[in-house]
Amino acid sequence: MNTSAIPHFDDMQVPEWTDADLKATFVAIDEKFARAQSVEDLIAAIRFWDGEQRRISTWKEWVSVRFTQNTSDVTRKDARERMEALWPSVTDHGVQIKRMLLNHAQRAEIEAFYGPEIFEKWTLDIATFDPIIADDLVEESTLSAQYTELMASAELPFRGETLNLSTILKFMQDSDRTVREEATALYWGWFETNRAELDRIFGALVTLRTNMAKKLGMPSHTELGYLRMQRLDYGPADVAKFREQVRQYVVPLAQALRREQAQRLGLDELMFWDETVFDPSGNPAPQGDHDWMVERATEMFDAMHPELSSFFRLLNERGLMDLKSRQGKAGGGYCTAFLEFGVPFIYANFNGTKGDVVVFTHEMGHAFQGWSSQNKPLMDQVWPTMESAEIHSMSLEFLTWPHMEKFFGGDADRFRRQHLAETLLFLPYGVAVDHFQHLIYDRPDATPEERNAMWQEVEALYLPWRNYGDIAALKRGAAWQRQLHIYGMPFYYIDYTLAATCALQFWVRSEENADAALADYVKLCARGGDAPFRELCRSAGLRAPFDDGALAGIAAHAARVLGVSA
Ligand code: ZN
């Protein structure tokens, strides 16, 4: 691939789209379709539409990235708000085109060219959007941004430093118990102070989403939520079956891991703030700073696979990673793409913990998949649905295991052991978040206190070992409020657990034959979003997580490797 035309991030020219620009482009697209006589004309019109969509989406991602890079910059905030205000018109036009193509006299010929899956995807897009909810979507985005801003505004005075909700995490994992307890209390004290605002934003989101679902003729936001996640080949009953498998096979293993952890730390009782520490000598941490880490990651991908190697070098050369934590920078990590330039972008907040390494293995997995499949004929075929996308990221976390000595030296084994334990321990938390959201949208009129009680109900099912001590926000059931997805991306969270179940299958296979597993992984990335979840699983030789036995085998193998018995 010729990459010389790809600009450096700092040199990217991304003009703002005004309402008039968008309208003119929509007219041009509509005219191309209206004039199309033959199938060739139609395909040319689709290509033109797709190209414009890639340019418009680049603008959207660009202003979103720039906002998260500095949430206190008013210019960036305004640019993002202008984009958000115009976005429903983009969605509306896209839906019109999709509806026209679905009902087109020559649909069979177009379907033969692009494949049937894309039409199924478009059917869902149409079901989840109608101009009658356009204003609600803007409001939803505004409320989510309020949560992001509120969280990014936290200033926590800790032992002479001012920390934010990202940079304090390092102290919440400190090997000194007093330090981590103090940091944990400070972190959750902020949630107690901001309790009213956190409850207000969430309450408004639940009401708004429920009304949107009703306007679209659905009984609750659960139905709408599944459609918005573009779930084509599974539903709430399958997800409930998966949660039950987690409860049956993983929760007992997780309890055994927590008991073993308490013993190793020499504690009578494992408190919430102890859960992040797996070893009395502290968690393994990378042995260098940001620049050193980028060098090690370059060596790692060079050693793994020629395609991973050239791609990571390109990301680095073109400034397509923003990894350092700064005041005012939004928390978290993500990967997105500027499709007009044909490149992904990786965002993180390095804080000196082993989590930083995960950025190179997790977000790089997303980025590599986007890169591998960006030349699909249609933009909607580039990214798969989220549960499939997380297979690419989480599997790379396991496929990079043999190279962890580069980052952790003699601590690599401790890292791998902890990574596996944490992935297993994540499953009960992940399904708890999912179960909680089903309860929330079943009873949208619940009070904040009732919502907290719902959280406590799911905690008892999946996280029975939790002990919060005297931390007020946690004791009253507000632990869910730190979870961005619950505010901003309803019903997304289960996707991580479904993908983790697939990634753990890659782990088992990689232990048998690392090269063969990596080759299958690279092939799966190149498929991008050209099929729904179950089909992608099947094509990569993975068992779908809902199916009987998907977790029993993994749990048994992991218990053997970790030397615990549930
Ligand atoms: Zn991810």
Tens-place pLDDT, residues 45-59? 999 999 999 999 999
> Mean pLDDT over residues 464-473, rounded?
97
> Is it the case that residue 2 has pLDDT exceeding 80?
no
Ligand 1 geometric centre to CA of 367 (Å): 10
> Is it the case that residue 296 has pLDDT exceeding 90?
yes
> Is it the case that residue 282 has pLDDT exceeding 80?
no
Ligand 1 geometric centre to CA of 361 (Å): 10
Report the predicted TM-score, pTM, of the whole model to 2 decimal places.
0.87
Ligand 1 geometric centre to CA of 166 (Å): 17
Q: How far apart are the C-alpha atoms of 495 and 481, rounded to whole Å?
A: 19
Ligand 1 geometric centre to CA of 463 (Å): 23
Handedness of CA 500, 503, 509, 513 (dihedral sign): negative
Ligand 1 geometric centre to CA of 63 (Å): 20
Handedness of CA 146, 152, 157, 159 (dihedral sign): positive
Neighbouring residues of 214: CB distance < 8 A, sequence distance ≥ 6 = none
> Is it the case that residue 256 has pLDDT exceeding 90?
yes
Higher per-residue confidence, 304 vs 130: 304
Reported confidence tier of residue 530, pLDDT bands at 50, 70, 90? confident
Ligand 1 geometric centre to CA of 490 (Å): 15
Neighbours of 162 (CB within 10 A): 11
Asked if residues 171 and 158 have their Cβ atoms less than 8 Å apart, the reply is yes
Q: How far apart are the C-alpha atoms of 104 and 535, rounded to whole Å?
A: 27
Q: How far apart are the C-alpha atoms of 534 and 112, rounded to whole Å?
A: 22
Ligand 1 geometric centre to CA of 311 (Å): 18
Ligand 1 geometric centre to CA of 542 (Å): 19
Q: Which residues pair with 226 in a beta bridge?
A: none
Asked if residues 27 and 97 have their Cβ atoms less than 8 Å apart, the reply is no
Ligand 1 geometric centre to CA of 394 (Å): 7
Ligand 1 geometric centre to CA of 132 (Å): 32
Tens-place pLDDT, residues 341-355? 999 999 999 988 888
Asked if residues 211 and 220 have their Cβ atoms less than 8 Å apart, the reply is no
Reported confidence tier of residue 412, pLDDT bands at 50, 70, 90? very high
Ligand 1 geometric centre to CA of 237 (Å): 24
Ligand 1 geometric centre to CA of 496 (Å): 8
% of the chain exceeding 90 in pLDDT: 87
Question: 400, 428, 413: which is closest to 501 by C-alpha?
Answer: 428
Own/partner long-range contacts of 8-11 (Cβ < 8 Å, ≥24 apart): 8/317, 8/318, 8/319, 9/318, 9/319, 9/320, 9/345, 10/319
Radius of gyration of the chain (CA): 23
Ligand 1 geometric centre to CA of 393 (Å): 6
pLDDT at 279: 83
CB-side neighbour CA atoms (13 Å) of 297: 29
Q: Cα 102 from chain centroid? A: 30
pLDDT at 358: 86
Ligand 1 geometric centre to CA of 384 (Å): 12
Mean of per-residue pLDDT scores for the chain:
94
Handedness of CA 468, 472, 477, 480 (dihedral sign): negative
**How does DSSP assign 313-371, residue by residue?**
HHHHHTT-EEEE--TTS--S-EEEEETTTTEEEEEEEE-SSTHHHHIIIIIHHHHHHHH
Q: How far apart are the C-alpha atoms of 244 and 241, rounded to whole Å?
A: 5
Ligand 1 geometric centre to CA of 386 (Å): 8
**Protein residues within 5 Å, CB atom, of ion ligand 1:** 393
Ligand 1 geometric centre to CA of 204 (Å): 27
Ligand 1 geometric centre to CA of 209 (Å): 24
Question: Coil, strand or helix: which one is 157?
Answer: strand
Ligand 1 geometric centre to CA of 253 (Å): 25
> Mean pLDDT over residues 246-275, rounded?
96
Reported confidence tier of residue 1, pLDDT bands at 50, 70, 90? low
**Angle (CA) 228 498 516, round 5°:** 125
Tens-place pLDDT, residues 477-516? 999 999 999 999 999 999 999 999 999 999 999 999 999 9
Asked if residues 169 and 154 have their Cβ atoms less than 8 Å apart, the reply is no
Ligand 1 geometric centre to CA of 345 (Å): 13
pLDDT at 278: 86
pLDDT at 464: 97
> Is it the case that residue 390 has pLDDT exceeding 80?
yes
Ligand 1 geometric centre to CA of 182 (Å): 30
Ligand 1 geometric centre to CA of 313 (Å): 21
**How does DSSP assign 466-496, residue by residue?**
---TT-HHHHTT-GGGG-HHHHHSTT-THHH
pLDDT at 369: 96
Ligand 1 geometric centre to CA of 446 (Å): 31
Ligand 1 geometric centre to CA of 362 (Å): 6
pLDDT at 38: 95
Asked if residues 324 and 290 have their Cβ atoms less than 8 Å apart, the reply is yes
Ligand 1 geometric centre to CA of 366 (Å): 7
Q: Which residues pair with 224 in a beta bridge?
A: none
Relative orientation angle of helices 552-562 and 494-512, to the nearest 10 degrees: 60
Ligand 1 geometric centre to CA of 528 (Å): 14
Reported confidence tier of residue 466, pLDDT bands at 50, 70, 90? very high
Q: How far apart are the C-alpha atoms of 51 and 59, rounded to whole Å?
A: 13
Continuous H helices in 174-194: 177-193
Ligand 1 geometric centre to CA of 226 (Å): 19
Ligand 1 geometric centre to CA of 388 (Å): 10
Ligand 1 geometric centre to CA of 334 (Å): 7
Question: 4, 7, 138, 146: which is closest to 84 by C-alpha?
Answer: 138
Reported confidence tier of residue 130, pLDDT bands at 50, 70, 90? confident
Q: What six digits make up the tokens of 203?
A: 């309450």
Q: What six digits make up the tokens of 444?
A: 């949208």
Q: Which residues pair with 139 in a beta bridge?
A: none
Question: 525, 507, 518, 513: which is closest to 562 by C-alpha?
Answer: 507
Residue appearing with tokens 């309803």: 490
Ligand 1 geometric centre to CA of 495 (Å): 9
Q: How far apart are the C-alpha atoms of 558 and 157, rounded to whole Å?
A: 40
Residue appearing with tokens 């450096």: 8
> Mean pLDDT over residues 222-250, rounded?
95
Q: What six digits make up the tokens of 497?
A: 């657990």
> Mean pLDDT over residues 168-183, rounded?
93
Residue 319, exposed/middle/buried by CB under 10 A (0-12, 13-18, 19+)?
middle
Neighbouring residues of 323: CB distance < 8 A, sequence distance ≥ 6 = 290, 294, 346, 347, 348, 349, 350, 356, 359
Residue 324 gets the label, from left (phi > 0), alpha (psi -120 to 50) or beta, of beta
Neighbours of 43 (CB within 10 A): 17
CB-side neighbour CA atoms (13 Å) of 271: 17
